[in-house]
Amino acid sequence: MSRPLTVAAAQLGPIARDEPRSAVVKRMLALMQEAHEKDVDLIVFPELALTTFFPRWYFEDQADVDAFFETEMPGLETQALFDKAKELQIGFYLGYAELIKDPAGDRHFNTAILVDKTGEIIGKYRKIHLPGHEENETWRPFQHLERRYFETGDLGFGTYEGFGGTMGMCLCNDRRWPETFRVLGLKGAELVMIGYNTPLHYPPAPEHDHLQDFHNHLSMQAGAYQNGTWVVGVAKAGKEEGCDLIGKSCIIAPTGEIVAVAETLGDELITHVCDLDRCDEIRKNVFDFRRYREPENYTPITEAKEK
């Protein structure tokens, strides 16, 4: 192994609507401690990891929505995660709801940050592929109002130098889009971190419910292989406020093989020693971008979408 990085996927079980941030942070600190005992360098938490998955409800009052958002990072409750990172020398990826207070209009993003071993934020990503719908659709057993509560991320798909390599981030629904991985791949990402909250039941096409775990792994394994990158996918899992969320958090090698997978639907840590040099197994072969890509034929991909 020439560039080993010990990575943990820190799956979280359900978070109740009335569970305070402090209780969730306590659960996360326990996972960080367990990770430390396993010599982990980088621990990956889920999307919107600090609260219940609130887009499942329609709220008339914006103040009720904003209560799920962070106005500062670190904030009062989350400072402990940064302190722990520094103390244990563990970096982390954290998904959370980001609120920017602005007299011209508040801004809301579904965000992930990358924090290094000194407790400094070295990367930020704001979710680009927002799934679900904008209006209250009362026929559904639960809502998926990400398109109402968040605006489209404005930071692009960035990569960040850290942890001995090039790190990439995205969030949940982004993993279903090959463009996400390809842009990160073109920017040299050697490890892509993805937090997710994926309901088992998809009301517009329930005939696909039995495929949720399959599609989850299919997308991430393809993204890993086709771009020669490690992928860490981390769920918020289990029955949360009556809604089943899939688990199966996993670590995937650049060959597309799953090398570690969660077995439960609760708080669970899985780890793997990822050799970042293994990306070359793919990138210097089948997916040697410089040699084999044919971008002149890909122009429809970047044409503006029809309104």
Cβ-Cβ contacts under 8 Å for 26 (sequence gap 6 or more):
none
Stretch that binds ligand CDT, among 118-126, 193-201, 226-234, 264-272 (CB under 6 A): 193-201
Stretch that binds ligand CDT, among 95-103, 195-203, 267-275, 277-285 (CB under 6 A): 195-203
Report if residue 249 touches ligand CDT, rule: CB under 6 A. Answer: no
CA 66, CA 87: separation in Å to the nearest integer? 31
Nearer residue to ligand CDT within complex by CB, 33 or 212: 212
Q: Are 125 and 98 in contact (CB under 8 A)?
A: no
Residue in 47, 146, 240, 268 annotated catalytic: 47
Subset of residues 33 to 52 that bind ligand CDT, contact rule: CB under 6 A: 47
Region of 112 (left: φ > 0; alpha: ψ -120 to 50; beta: rest) is: beta
Report if residue 132 touches ligand CDT, rule: CB under 6 A. Answer: yes
CA 126, CA 113: separation in Å to the nearest integer? 9
Q: Are 213 and 248 in contact (CB under 8 A)?
A: yes
Is 47 catalytic? The answer is yes
Minimal distance in Å, beta carbon 258 to ligand CDT?
Answer: 18
Report if residue 21 touches ligand CDT, rule: CB under 6 A. Answer: no
Report if residue 197 touches ligand CDT, rule: CB under 6 A. Answer: yes
Report if residue 173 touches ligand CDT, rule: CB under 6 A. Answer: yes
Is 151 catalytic? The answer is no
Nearer residue to ligand CDT within complex by CB, 198 or 271: 198
CA 72, CA 126: separation in Å to the nearest integer? 15
From 92, 196, 230, 287, residue interacting with ligand CDT (rule: CB under 6 A): 196
Q: Cα–Cα–Cα angle for 278, 232, 10, nearest 5°? A: 135
Helix (H) or strand (E) holding 193: strand 191-196
Minimal distance in Å, beta carbon 197 to ligand CDT?
Answer: 4
Subset of residues 153 to 172 that bind ligand CDT, contact rule: CB under 6 A: 172
Report if residue 145 touches ligand CDT, rule: CB under 6 A. Answer: no
Cis preceding linkage at 55, omega within 30: no
Nearer residue to ligand CDT within complex by CB, 3 or 176: 176
CA of 135: how far to CAs of 46, 57, 129, 138, in Å? 26, 11, 17, 9
CA 31, CA 127: separation in Å to the nearest integer? 25
CA 122, CA 161: separation in Å to the nearest integer? 8
From 56, 84, 126, 144, residue interacting with ligand CDT (rule: CB under 6 A): 144
- What is the end-to-end Cα distance of the chain in Å, rounded? 49
Minimal distance in Å, beta carbon 13 to ligand CDT?
Answer: 16
From 4, 34, 79, 131, residue interacting with ligand CDT (rule: CB under 6 A): 131
Subset of residues 93 to 112 that bind ligand CDT, contact rule: CB under 6 A: none
Report if residue 126 touches ligand CDT, rule: CB under 6 A. Answer: no
| Residues that bind ligand CDT in the complex, under the rule CB under 6 A | 47, 131-132, 144, 172-173, 176, 196-198
Q: Which active-site residues does the annotation give?
A: 47, 127, 172
